[in-house]
Structure 1
Amino acid sequence: MIAEFLTYLTTPAPPYVKRMGYLKEAIAIDARHKRCKSAWSSHLENSKNFIIKSVERCKNFRTVVVLGSGNLLDVPLSQLSEKFEKVILVDIVHLAKTLKIIRKFPNVDTLSCDITGVAEDIFNLTKNRTQAHIELPEPAKTNLPEIQDNRTDLVISLNILSQLTVMPREYILKNDACEDGSTLKRWEYNVLRAHLDALMATKTNVCLITDFEFIERNHRTQSVNQYYTLTGIELPLPEKTWTWNIAPKGEISKDISIERKVAAYFIKCLLS
Protein backbone atom coordinates (compact mmCIF):
# COMPACT_ATOMS: atom_id res chain seq x y z
CA MET A 1 0.00 0.00 0.00
CA ILE A 2 2.86 2.38 0.79
CA ALA A 3 4.51 1.67 -2.58
CA GLU A 4 1.21 2.29 -4.38
CA PHE A 5 0.70 5.56 -2.48
CA LEU A 6 4.20 6.75 -3.37
CA THR A 7 3.61 5.83 -7.01
CA TYR A 8 0.45 7.93 -6.96
CA LEU A 9 2.26 10.91 -5.46
CA THR A 10 5.26 10.77 -7.81
CA THR A 11 3.57 9.99 -11.14
CA PRO A 12 3.10 13.17 -13.21
CA ALA A 13 -0.42 13.47 -14.60
CA PRO A 14 -2.95 16.24 -15.36
CA PRO A 15 -5.45 17.02 -12.57
CA TYR A 16 -8.35 15.32 -14.36
CA VAL A 17 -6.38 12.07 -14.72
CA LYS A 18 -5.82 11.95 -10.97
CA ARG A 19 -9.17 13.30 -9.80
CA MET A 20 -11.22 11.06 -12.10
CA GLY A 21 -9.39 7.92 -10.96
CA TYR A 22 -7.36 7.01 -14.05
CA LEU A 23 -4.01 7.03 -12.25
CA LYS A 24 -5.40 5.15 -9.26
CA GLU A 25 -6.82 2.49 -11.58
CA ALA A 26 -3.52 2.07 -13.45
CA ILE A 27 -1.75 1.48 -10.14
CA ALA A 28 -4.51 -0.88 -8.96
CA ILE A 29 -4.28 -2.97 -12.14
CA ASP A 30 -0.56 -3.42 -11.56
CA ALA A 31 -1.19 -4.55 -7.97
CA ARG A 32 -4.08 -6.80 -9.05
CA HIS A 33 -1.88 -8.50 -11.62
CA LYS A 34 0.66 -9.37 -8.94
CA ARG A 35 -2.07 -11.01 -6.85
CA CYS A 36 -3.80 -12.74 -9.78
CA LYS A 37 -0.81 -13.52 -11.99
CA SER A 38 -1.65 -17.19 -12.44
CA ALA A 39 -5.34 -16.55 -13.16
CA TRP A 40 -4.52 -13.83 -15.69
CA SER A 41 -1.76 -15.71 -17.52
CA SER A 42 -3.90 -17.38 -20.20
CA HIS A 43 -5.67 -14.12 -21.07
CA LEU A 44 -2.41 -12.21 -21.36
CA GLU A 45 -0.84 -14.92 -23.50
CA ASN A 46 -3.91 -15.11 -25.75
CA SER A 47 -3.76 -11.35 -26.24
CA LYS A 48 -0.05 -11.35 -27.04
CA ASN A 49 -0.37 -14.31 -29.41
CA PHE A 50 -3.25 -12.72 -31.31
CA ILE A 51 -1.28 -9.48 -31.68
CA ILE A 52 1.74 -11.38 -32.97
CA LYS A 53 -0.44 -13.22 -35.50
CA SER A 54 -1.93 -9.87 -36.56
CA VAL A 55 1.58 -8.52 -37.13
CA GLU A 56 2.37 -11.51 -39.33
CA ARG A 57 -0.60 -10.60 -41.55
CA CYS A 58 0.70 -7.10 -42.26
CA LYS A 59 2.48 -6.32 -45.50
CA ASN A 60 4.49 -3.31 -44.34
CA PHE A 61 6.13 -2.66 -40.98
CA ARG A 62 6.69 1.05 -40.59
CA THR A 63 4.61 2.21 -37.58
CA VAL A 64 2.37 0.33 -35.15
CA VAL A 65 0.11 2.23 -32.73
CA VAL A 66 -1.13 0.52 -29.55
CA LEU A 67 -4.22 2.14 -28.03
CA GLY A 68 -4.57 1.16 -24.37
CA SER A 69 -1.01 -0.02 -23.83
CA GLY A 70 -1.47 0.22 -20.07
CA ASN A 71 1.22 -1.46 -18.00
CA LEU A 72 2.35 -3.55 -21.01
CA LEU A 73 1.00 -6.75 -19.44
CA ASP A 74 -0.67 -7.88 -22.67
CA VAL A 75 1.67 -6.14 -25.14
CA PRO A 76 4.39 -8.23 -26.90
CA LEU A 77 6.64 -5.19 -26.89
CA SER A 78 9.92 -6.84 -27.89
CA GLN A 79 8.28 -8.45 -30.94
CA LEU A 80 6.64 -5.19 -31.99
CA SER A 81 9.89 -3.27 -31.56
CA GLU A 82 11.83 -5.86 -33.53
CA LYS A 83 9.31 -5.96 -36.39
CA PHE A 84 8.31 -2.30 -36.84
CA GLU A 85 10.40 0.77 -37.50
CA LYS A 86 8.40 2.68 -34.89
CA VAL A 87 6.10 1.71 -32.02
CA ILE A 88 3.76 4.26 -30.39
CA LEU A 89 2.17 3.31 -27.06
CA VAL A 90 -0.92 5.35 -26.25
CA ASP A 91 -2.65 5.57 -22.89
CA ILE A 92 -4.04 8.23 -20.60
CA VAL A 93 -1.16 7.75 -18.13
CA HIS A 94 2.11 5.79 -18.11
CA LEU A 95 3.59 4.56 -14.82
CA ALA A 96 7.31 4.92 -14.09
CA LYS A 97 7.90 1.15 -14.21
CA THR A 98 6.37 1.11 -17.70
CA LEU A 99 8.59 3.95 -18.86
CA LYS A 100 11.60 2.08 -17.48
CA ILE A 101 10.77 -0.95 -19.63
CA ILE A 102 10.29 1.24 -22.70
CA ARG A 103 13.74 2.80 -22.37
CA LYS A 104 15.23 -0.50 -23.51
CA PHE A 105 13.69 0.00 -26.96
CA PRO A 106 14.99 3.02 -28.91
CA ASN A 107 12.18 2.88 -31.49
CA VAL A 108 9.35 2.92 -28.92
CA ASP A 109 7.59 6.18 -27.97
CA THR A 110 4.75 6.89 -25.56
CA LEU A 111 1.84 9.27 -25.97
CA SER A 112 -0.27 10.27 -22.96
CA CYS A 113 -3.72 10.97 -24.34
CA ASP A 114 -7.42 10.46 -23.66
CA ILE A 115 -8.48 8.90 -26.94
CA THR A 116 -12.16 9.65 -26.31
CA GLY A 117 -11.52 13.38 -26.00
CA VAL A 118 -14.24 13.69 -23.32
CA ALA A 119 -12.68 13.08 -19.89
CA GLU A 120 -11.08 16.47 -19.34
CA ASP A 121 -14.21 18.21 -20.65
CA ILE A 122 -16.37 16.29 -18.18
CA PHE A 123 -14.00 17.14 -15.35
CA ASN A 124 -14.05 20.86 -16.19
CA LEU A 125 -17.78 21.02 -16.91
CA THR A 126 -18.58 19.29 -13.62
CA LYS A 127 -16.20 21.48 -11.61
CA ASN A 128 -17.39 24.75 -13.17
CA ARG A 129 -21.08 24.01 -13.64
CA THR A 130 -23.65 26.65 -12.86
CA GLN A 131 -26.60 24.26 -13.21
CA ALA A 132 -27.42 20.93 -11.58
CA HIS A 133 -26.47 18.87 -14.63
CA ILE A 134 -23.94 19.19 -17.41
CA GLU A 135 -24.36 18.71 -21.13
CA LEU A 136 -22.37 15.60 -21.92
CA PRO A 137 -19.64 16.37 -24.48
CA GLU A 138 -19.59 14.65 -27.83
CA PRO A 139 -16.75 12.12 -28.21
CA ALA A 140 -13.91 12.97 -30.55
CA LYS A 141 -13.91 11.00 -33.80
CA THR A 142 -10.18 10.81 -33.21
CA ASN A 143 -7.68 13.12 -31.61
CA LEU A 144 -4.76 10.96 -32.68
CA PRO A 145 -3.14 11.99 -35.95
CA GLU A 146 -0.82 9.01 -35.51
CA ILE A 147 -3.58 6.55 -36.42
CA GLN A 148 -4.36 8.51 -39.58
CA ASP A 149 -0.70 8.68 -40.63
CA ASN A 150 -0.21 6.88 -43.95
CA ARG A 151 2.96 5.30 -42.52
CA THR A 152 0.95 3.47 -39.84
CA ASP A 153 0.59 -0.16 -40.87
CA LEU A 154 -1.19 -1.54 -37.80
CA VAL A 155 -3.44 -0.03 -35.11
CA ILE A 156 -4.09 -2.17 -32.02
CA SER A 157 -7.05 -1.37 -29.75
CA LEU A 158 -6.26 -3.39 -26.68
CA ASN A 159 -8.90 -4.24 -24.08
CA ILE A 160 -10.21 -0.69 -23.78
CA LEU A 161 -13.50 -0.59 -25.70
CA SER A 162 -15.75 -1.50 -22.78
CA GLN A 163 -13.59 0.60 -20.44
CA LEU A 164 -13.74 3.88 -22.37
CA THR A 165 -16.67 5.25 -20.39
CA VAL A 166 -16.08 3.60 -17.01
CA MET A 167 -14.16 6.43 -15.33
CA PRO A 168 -16.21 9.27 -16.87
CA ARG A 169 -19.47 7.49 -15.97
CA GLU A 170 -18.38 6.93 -12.36
CA TYR A 171 -17.29 10.55 -12.05
CA ILE A 172 -20.56 11.79 -13.52
CA LEU A 173 -22.63 9.61 -11.18
CA LYS A 174 -20.54 10.47 -8.11
CA ASN A 175 -21.09 14.16 -8.81
CA ASP A 176 -24.75 13.77 -9.85
CA ALA A 177 -23.88 15.58 -13.07
CA CYS A 178 -26.30 13.88 -15.46
CA GLU A 179 -30.06 14.25 -15.53
CA ASP A 180 -31.06 10.62 -16.09
CA GLY A 181 -29.70 7.15 -16.78
CA SER A 182 -31.07 6.85 -20.32
CA THR A 183 -29.19 10.00 -21.39
CA LEU A 184 -26.01 8.59 -19.90
CA LYS A 185 -26.51 5.25 -21.64
CA ARG A 186 -26.99 6.92 -25.03
CA TRP A 187 -23.85 8.96 -24.45
CA GLU A 188 -21.85 5.85 -23.53
CA TYR A 189 -23.00 4.17 -26.73
CA ASN A 190 -21.84 7.21 -28.72
CA VAL A 191 -18.38 7.09 -27.13
CA LEU A 192 -17.89 3.40 -27.95
CA ARG A 193 -19.30 3.90 -31.45
CA ALA A 194 -16.92 6.81 -32.06
CA HIS A 195 -13.95 4.64 -31.13
CA LEU A 196 -14.98 1.89 -33.53
CA ASP A 197 -15.69 4.42 -36.29
CA ALA A 198 -12.23 5.93 -35.78
CA LEU A 199 -10.64 2.49 -36.12
CA MET A 200 -12.56 1.77 -39.31
CA ALA A 201 -11.56 5.16 -40.75
CA THR A 202 -7.82 4.56 -40.34
CA LYS A 203 -7.41 2.87 -43.73
CA THR A 204 -4.85 0.58 -42.16
CA ASN A 205 -4.80 -2.86 -40.55
CA VAL A 206 -6.65 -3.03 -37.23
CA CYS A 207 -6.33 -5.49 -34.38
CA LEU A 208 -9.21 -5.14 -31.91
CA ILE A 209 -9.23 -7.05 -28.61
CA THR A 210 -12.07 -6.29 -26.22
CA ASP A 211 -14.08 -7.91 -23.49
CA PHE A 212 -17.79 -8.17 -24.24
CA GLU A 213 -19.38 -10.06 -21.36
CA PHE A 214 -19.19 -9.91 -17.56
CA ILE A 215 -19.90 -13.05 -15.52
CA GLU A 216 -20.04 -13.29 -11.74
CA ARG A 217 -20.01 -16.80 -10.28
CA ASN A 218 -20.77 -18.10 -6.81
CA HIS A 219 -18.89 -20.77 -4.85
CA ARG A 220 -20.68 -23.48 -6.86
CA THR A 221 -19.42 -21.82 -10.10
CA GLN A 222 -23.00 -20.90 -11.02
CA SER A 223 -23.54 -17.63 -12.87
CA VAL A 224 -25.33 -15.22 -10.53
CA ASN A 225 -24.79 -11.99 -12.48
CA GLN A 226 -24.13 -11.80 -16.20
CA TYR A 227 -24.35 -8.94 -18.69
CA TYR A 228 -23.06 -7.59 -22.00
CA THR A 229 -20.41 -4.91 -21.44
CA LEU A 230 -20.48 -2.98 -24.72
CA THR A 231 -23.49 -0.72 -24.06
CA GLY A 232 -25.58 -1.70 -27.07
CA ILE A 233 -22.70 -2.03 -29.54
CA GLU A 234 -23.16 -5.14 -31.66
CA LEU A 235 -19.96 -6.65 -33.00
CA PRO A 236 -19.71 -9.35 -35.69
CA LEU A 237 -18.55 -12.86 -34.86
CA PRO A 238 -14.97 -12.63 -33.59
CA GLU A 239 -12.02 -14.49 -35.01
CA LYS A 240 -11.13 -15.79 -31.56
CA THR A 241 -12.68 -15.74 -28.07
CA TRP A 242 -11.46 -16.68 -24.62
CA THR A 243 -12.23 -16.21 -20.93
CA TRP A 244 -10.33 -13.83 -18.68
CA ASN A 245 -10.51 -14.95 -15.05
CA ILE A 246 -10.11 -11.39 -13.87
CA ALA A 247 -10.99 -11.92 -10.20
CA PRO A 248 -10.58 -15.49 -8.95
CA LYS A 249 -12.13 -16.52 -5.66
CA GLY A 250 -10.43 -14.70 -2.83
CA GLU A 251 -9.73 -11.53 -4.80
CA ILE A 252 -13.13 -9.95 -4.12
CA SER A 253 -14.54 -12.49 -1.66
CA LYS A 254 -13.99 -16.13 -0.78
CA ASP A 255 -17.23 -17.15 -2.52
CA ILE A 256 -17.30 -14.98 -5.66
CA SER A 257 -15.25 -15.03 -8.86
CA ILE A 258 -15.46 -12.67 -11.84
CA GLU A 259 -14.86 -13.56 -15.48
CA ARG A 260 -14.89 -11.53 -18.66
CA LYS A 261 -15.40 -12.95 -22.12
CA VAL A 262 -12.91 -11.53 -24.61
CA ALA A 263 -13.17 -11.25 -28.39
CA ALA A 264 -10.36 -10.65 -30.88
CA TYR A 265 -10.60 -9.29 -34.44
CA PHE A 266 -8.20 -8.55 -37.25
CA ILE A 267 -9.45 -6.21 -39.98
CA LYS A 268 -7.11 -6.20 -42.95
CA CYS A 269 -6.63 -3.04 -44.94
CA LEU A 270 -7.04 -3.76 -48.63
CA LEU A 271 -4.66 -0.88 -49.40
CA SER A 272 -1.75 -2.32 -47.42
Structure 2
Amino acid sequence: MILEALEYLTTPCPPWARRLGYLSEAIAIRHRARRCAGAWADHQRHTKAAILDHVPKDCGTAVILGAGQCLDVPLPDLAARCEQVILVDAVRLRGLRLPENADYRPMDVHGVAEKLYLGTSLWDRTDNPLREFDEADYVVSVNLLSQLPILPLRAMARRGLSTPIFEHGLSGQIMRDHVRDLKSLAAKSILIADARRITRDRKGAVVDDENLAAQALLPTPNVSWHWPIAPEGERHDGSTIEAQVGIWVL
Protein backbone atom coordinates (compact mmCIF):
# COMPACT_ATOMS: atom_id res chain seq x y z
CA MET A 1 0.00 0.00 0.00
CA ILE A 2 2.89 2.36 0.75
CA LEU A 3 4.40 1.75 -2.68
CA GLU A 4 1.03 2.35 -4.34
CA ALA A 5 0.59 5.60 -2.42
CA LEU A 6 4.05 6.82 -3.43
CA GLU A 7 3.37 5.92 -7.04
CA TYR A 8 0.10 7.84 -6.91
CA LEU A 9 1.78 10.95 -5.54
CA THR A 10 4.68 10.95 -7.99
CA THR A 11 3.00 9.94 -11.27
CA PRO A 12 2.12 12.86 -13.58
CA CYS A 13 -1.28 12.68 -15.27
CA PRO A 14 -4.09 14.96 -16.53
CA PRO A 15 -6.15 16.60 -13.73
CA TRP A 16 -9.36 14.83 -14.79
CA ALA A 17 -7.61 11.44 -14.64
CA ARG A 18 -6.44 12.02 -11.09
CA ARG A 19 -9.75 13.48 -9.88
CA LEU A 20 -11.97 10.76 -11.34
CA GLY A 21 -9.76 7.89 -10.18
CA TYR A 22 -8.07 6.78 -13.41
CA LEU A 23 -4.60 6.99 -11.88
CA SER A 24 -5.62 4.99 -8.79
CA GLU A 25 -7.32 2.40 -10.99
CA ALA A 26 -4.30 2.05 -13.29
CA ILE A 27 -2.03 1.44 -10.31
CA ALA A 28 -4.49 -1.08 -8.83
CA ILE A 29 -4.77 -2.93 -12.16
CA ARG A 30 -0.99 -3.27 -12.42
CA HIS A 31 -0.83 -4.85 -8.96
CA ARG A 32 -3.86 -7.03 -9.70
CA ALA A 33 -2.21 -8.24 -12.90
CA ARG A 34 0.79 -9.40 -10.90
CA ARG A 35 -1.40 -11.30 -8.46
CA CYS A 36 -3.47 -12.86 -11.26
CA ALA A 37 -0.59 -13.46 -13.69
CA GLY A 38 -1.29 -17.18 -14.03
CA ALA A 39 -5.05 -16.77 -14.45
CA TRP A 40 -4.65 -13.96 -17.00
CA ALA A 41 -1.89 -15.55 -19.10
CA ASP A 42 -4.15 -17.21 -21.71
CA HIS A 43 -6.23 -14.07 -22.12
CA GLN A 44 -3.13 -11.95 -22.66
CA ARG A 45 -1.78 -14.47 -25.16
CA HIS A 46 -5.05 -14.49 -27.13
CA THR A 47 -5.22 -10.69 -27.13
CA LYS A 48 -1.66 -10.28 -28.38
CA ALA A 49 -2.25 -12.84 -31.13
CA ALA A 50 -5.46 -11.10 -32.22
CA ILE A 51 -3.71 -7.74 -32.48
CA LEU A 52 -0.91 -9.16 -34.62
CA ASP A 53 -3.24 -11.29 -36.77
CA HIS A 54 -5.02 -8.18 -38.08
CA VAL A 55 -2.07 -5.85 -38.74
CA PRO A 56 -2.49 -4.49 -42.29
CA LYS A 57 0.23 -5.04 -44.84
CA ASP A 58 2.66 -2.10 -45.05
CA CYS A 59 1.21 -0.58 -41.88
CA GLY A 60 2.28 3.00 -41.33
CA THR A 61 0.66 4.04 -38.04
CA ALA A 62 -0.98 1.71 -35.54
CA VAL A 63 -3.01 3.08 -32.62
CA ILE A 64 -3.70 1.03 -29.49
CA LEU A 65 -6.57 2.33 -27.35
CA GLY A 66 -6.50 1.08 -23.76
CA ALA A 67 -2.79 0.31 -23.89
CA GLY A 68 -2.24 0.42 -20.12
CA GLN A 69 1.09 -1.17 -19.27
CA CYS A 70 0.98 -3.17 -22.54
CA LEU A 71 0.51 -6.41 -20.61
CA ASP A 72 -1.81 -7.62 -23.38
CA VAL A 73 -0.19 -5.65 -26.22
CA PRO A 74 2.63 -7.26 -28.30
CA LEU A 75 4.53 -3.98 -28.39
CA PRO A 76 7.94 -5.15 -29.73
CA ASP A 77 6.35 -7.18 -32.55
CA LEU A 78 3.88 -4.43 -33.38
CA ALA A 79 6.63 -1.81 -33.50
CA ALA A 80 8.61 -4.06 -35.83
CA ARG A 81 5.67 -4.34 -38.26
CA CYS A 82 4.57 -0.70 -38.23
CA GLU A 83 6.37 2.55 -38.92
CA GLN A 84 4.80 4.16 -35.85
CA VAL A 85 2.85 2.92 -32.83
CA ILE A 86 0.71 5.30 -30.77
CA LEU A 87 -0.33 3.98 -27.36
CA VAL A 88 -3.36 5.63 -25.78
CA ASP A 89 -4.77 5.47 -22.26
CA ALA A 90 -5.94 7.80 -19.51
CA VAL A 91 -2.56 7.69 -17.76
CA ARG A 92 0.91 6.36 -18.39
CA LEU A 93 2.48 4.68 -15.39
CA ARG A 94 6.20 4.68 -14.81
CA GLY A 95 8.34 1.75 -15.86
CA LEU A 96 7.06 1.12 -19.39
CA ARG A 97 9.86 1.22 -21.92
CA LEU A 98 8.88 2.19 -25.45
CA PRO A 99 10.54 1.32 -28.77
CA GLU A 100 11.95 4.29 -30.67
CA ASN A 101 8.97 4.40 -33.02
CA ALA A 102 6.35 4.30 -30.24
CA ASP A 103 4.66 7.19 -28.44
CA TYR A 104 2.30 7.26 -25.44
CA ARG A 105 -0.60 9.73 -25.30
CA PRO A 106 -2.76 10.26 -22.19
CA MET A 107 -6.30 10.79 -23.48
CA ASP A 108 -9.97 10.59 -22.55
CA VAL A 109 -10.98 8.17 -25.31
CA HIS A 110 -14.71 8.87 -25.01
CA GLY A 111 -14.76 12.42 -23.65
CA VAL A 112 -17.21 11.84 -20.78
CA ALA A 113 -14.54 11.92 -18.06
CA GLU A 114 -13.22 15.31 -19.05
CA LYS A 115 -16.78 16.66 -19.35
CA LEU A 116 -17.52 15.50 -15.81
CA TYR A 117 -14.35 17.13 -14.55
CA LEU A 118 -15.14 20.41 -16.29
CA GLY A 119 -18.83 20.31 -15.37
CA THR A 120 -20.04 20.53 -18.97
CA SER A 121 -23.04 18.72 -20.45
CA LEU A 122 -22.63 14.98 -20.93
CA TRP A 123 -25.19 14.97 -23.72
CA ASP A 124 -23.56 17.58 -25.94
CA ARG A 125 -21.38 15.09 -27.77
CA THR A 126 -20.91 16.19 -31.35
CA ASP A 127 -17.20 15.45 -31.57
CA ASN A 128 -15.37 12.16 -31.95
CA PRO A 129 -12.19 12.17 -29.83
CA LEU A 130 -10.70 9.53 -32.12
CA ARG A 131 -10.76 11.86 -35.12
CA GLU A 132 -7.13 12.74 -34.49
CA PHE A 133 -6.31 9.21 -35.62
CA ASP A 134 -8.05 9.55 -39.00
CA GLU A 135 -4.72 9.19 -40.79
CA ALA A 136 -3.80 5.97 -38.99
CA ASP A 137 -3.73 2.64 -40.81
CA TYR A 138 -4.72 0.40 -37.91
CA VAL A 139 -6.69 1.15 -34.73
CA VAL A 140 -7.33 -1.41 -31.99
CA SER A 141 -9.48 -0.96 -28.89
CA VAL A 142 -8.01 -3.39 -26.37
CA ASN A 143 -10.14 -4.66 -23.47
CA LEU A 144 -11.44 -1.13 -23.02
CA LEU A 145 -15.12 -1.07 -24.00
CA SER A 146 -16.66 -2.33 -20.75
CA GLN A 147 -14.28 -0.16 -18.69
CA LEU A 148 -15.28 3.15 -20.27
CA PRO A 149 -18.46 3.75 -18.20
CA ILE A 150 -17.17 2.56 -14.81
CA LEU A 151 -15.30 5.54 -13.38
CA PRO A 152 -17.60 8.22 -14.84
CA LEU A 153 -20.60 6.45 -13.30
CA ARG A 154 -18.82 6.21 -9.94
CA ALA A 155 -18.11 9.93 -10.08
CA MET A 156 -21.76 10.67 -10.83
CA ALA A 157 -22.92 8.40 -8.00
CA ARG A 158 -20.68 10.26 -5.55
CA ARG A 159 -22.38 13.48 -6.60
CA GLY A 160 -25.86 12.01 -6.22
CA LEU A 161 -26.50 12.29 -9.95
CA SER A 162 -27.19 8.65 -10.69
CA THR A 163 -29.85 5.94 -10.37
CA PRO A 164 -29.62 2.26 -11.41
CA ILE A 165 -31.79 2.86 -14.49
CA PHE A 166 -29.79 5.93 -15.46
CA GLU A 167 -26.50 4.05 -14.94
CA HIS A 168 -27.58 1.21 -17.20
CA GLY A 169 -28.68 3.62 -19.92
CA LEU A 170 -25.57 5.78 -19.80
CA SER A 171 -23.29 2.75 -19.65
CA GLY A 172 -24.77 1.36 -22.86
CA GLN A 173 -24.64 4.77 -24.53
CA ILE A 174 -20.94 5.23 -23.74
CA MET A 175 -20.13 1.81 -25.17
CA ARG A 176 -22.20 2.41 -28.30
CA ASP A 177 -20.49 5.79 -28.77
CA HIS A 178 -17.10 4.08 -28.68
CA VAL A 179 -18.11 1.49 -31.26
CA ARG A 180 -19.51 4.21 -33.51
CA ASP A 181 -16.33 6.29 -33.11
CA LEU A 182 -14.23 3.33 -34.19
CA LYS A 183 -16.46 2.55 -37.16
CA SER A 184 -16.23 6.14 -38.39
CA LEU A 185 -12.47 5.95 -38.86
CA ALA A 186 -10.96 5.27 -42.26
CA ALA A 187 -8.41 2.95 -40.64
CA LYS A 188 -8.85 -0.77 -40.24
CA SER A 189 -10.44 -0.92 -36.78
CA ILE A 190 -10.53 -3.90 -34.43
CA LEU A 191 -12.47 -4.16 -31.18
CA ILE A 192 -11.33 -6.62 -28.51
CA ALA A 193 -13.77 -6.50 -25.60
CA ASP A 194 -15.89 -8.37 -23.07
CA ALA A 195 -18.92 -9.82 -24.82
CA ARG A 196 -20.33 -11.21 -21.60
CA ARG A 197 -19.39 -10.87 -17.94
CA ILE A 198 -20.52 -13.22 -15.17
CA THR A 199 -20.22 -12.74 -11.41
CA ARG A 200 -20.56 -15.73 -9.07
CA ASP A 201 -20.85 -15.81 -5.29
CA ARG A 202 -18.52 -17.84 -3.07
CA LYS A 203 -20.67 -20.95 -3.66
CA GLY A 204 -20.47 -20.61 -7.44
CA ALA A 205 -24.02 -19.38 -7.99
CA VAL A 206 -24.46 -16.74 -10.71
CA VAL A 207 -25.45 -13.40 -9.17
CA ASP A 208 -24.96 -11.21 -12.25
CA ASP A 209 -24.79 -12.00 -15.96
CA GLU A 210 -24.19 -9.01 -18.25
CA ASN A 211 -24.57 -9.27 -22.02
CA LEU A 212 -22.21 -6.41 -22.82
CA ALA A 213 -22.20 -7.11 -26.55
CA ALA A 214 -25.96 -6.57 -26.64
CA GLN A 215 -25.66 -3.30 -24.70
CA ALA A 216 -23.14 -2.08 -27.27
CA LEU A 217 -25.37 -3.34 -30.15
CA LEU A 218 -22.65 -5.74 -31.26
CA PRO A 219 -23.31 -9.10 -32.92
CA THR A 220 -22.02 -12.33 -31.44
CA PRO A 221 -18.24 -12.37 -32.01
CA ASN A 222 -16.84 -14.95 -34.42
CA VAL A 223 -13.83 -15.54 -32.15
CA SER A 224 -13.94 -15.53 -28.36
CA TRP A 225 -12.15 -16.88 -25.29
CA HIS A 226 -12.55 -17.12 -21.52
CA TRP A 227 -10.92 -14.64 -19.13
CA PRO A 228 -11.06 -15.20 -15.34
CA ILE A 229 -10.89 -11.51 -14.42
CA ALA A 230 -11.19 -12.07 -10.68
CA PRO A 231 -10.33 -15.72 -10.01
CA GLU A 232 -11.01 -17.53 -6.76
CA GLY A 233 -9.27 -15.82 -3.84
CA GLU A 234 -8.93 -12.41 -5.50
CA ARG A 235 -12.03 -10.74 -4.01
CA HIS A 236 -12.58 -10.33 -0.27
CA ASP A 237 -16.17 -11.57 -0.39
CA GLY A 238 -15.19 -14.80 -2.13
CA SER A 239 -16.99 -13.94 -5.37
CA THR A 240 -15.43 -14.43 -8.80
CA ILE A 241 -15.77 -12.56 -12.09
CA GLU A 242 -15.25 -14.10 -15.51
CA ALA A 243 -15.67 -12.75 -19.01
CA GLN A 244 -16.12 -14.07 -22.50
CA VAL A 245 -13.89 -11.86 -24.63
CA GLY A 246 -14.58 -11.37 -28.33
CA ILE A 247 -13.05 -9.83 -31.44
CA TRP A 248 -14.96 -7.64 -33.88
CA VAL A 249 -13.59 -6.26 -37.14
CA LEU A 250 -15.44 -2.98 -37.57
TM-score calculated relative to the size of structure 2: 0.92
| Structure 1 residues 253 and 114, CA gap change in structure 2 (3 angstroms) | same
Is the 8 Å Cα contact of residues 116 and 139 (structure 1) preserved in structure 2? no
User: What corresponds to 1:31 in structure 2?
Assistant: 31
CA deviation profile, 1:180-210 (whole Å, cap 9, x unmatched): 4444433333322221111111122111100
Q: Which runs of 4+ in 1 moved over 6 A?
A: none
What letter is aligned with 2:71? Answer: L
Matched, 1:244 2:227: yes
RMSD, matched Cα: 1.9
User: What corresponds to 1:87 in structure 2?
Assistant: 85
CA deviation profile, 1:251-270 (whole Å, cap 9, x unmatched): 10474221111111234xxx
CA deviation profile, 1:69-105 (whole Å, cap 9, x unmatched): 011110000011000000000111100112xx11xx1
Is the 8 Å Cα contact of residues 141 and 195 (structure 1) preserved in structure 2? no
Matched, 1:168 2:152: yes
Identity %: 36
| 1:136 to partner: Cα distance | 3.0
TM-score calculated relative to the size of structure 1: 0.85
Is the 8 Å Cα contact of residues 200 and 207 (structure 2) preserved in structure 1? yes
Is the 8 Å Cα contact of residues 239 and 266 (structure 1) preserved in structure 2? no
Give structure 1 stretches of 5+ with no counterpart. Answer: 126-133, 268-272
Alignment of 1:1-272 (within 5 A): 1-55=1-55, 58-98=56-96, 101-102=97-98, 105-125=99-119, 135-139=121-125, 141-149=127-135, 152-178=136-162, 180-229=163-212, 232-253=215-236, 255-267=238-250
| Structure 1 residues 139 and 24, CA gap change in structure 2 (3 angstroms) | farther
Is the 8 Å Cα contact of residues 206 and 266 (structure 1) preserved in structure 2? yes
Q: Distance in 2 between matches of 1:69 and 1:250?
A: 27
Count the aligned residue pairs: 250
Q: Distance in 1 between matches of 2:248 and 2:121?
A: 34
- The more displaced of 249-258 and 166-175 is 249-258
| 1:141 to partner: Cα distance | 4.2
Larger Rg: 1 or 2? 1
What letter is aligned with 1:214? Answer: R
| 1:124 to partner: Cα distance | 2.6
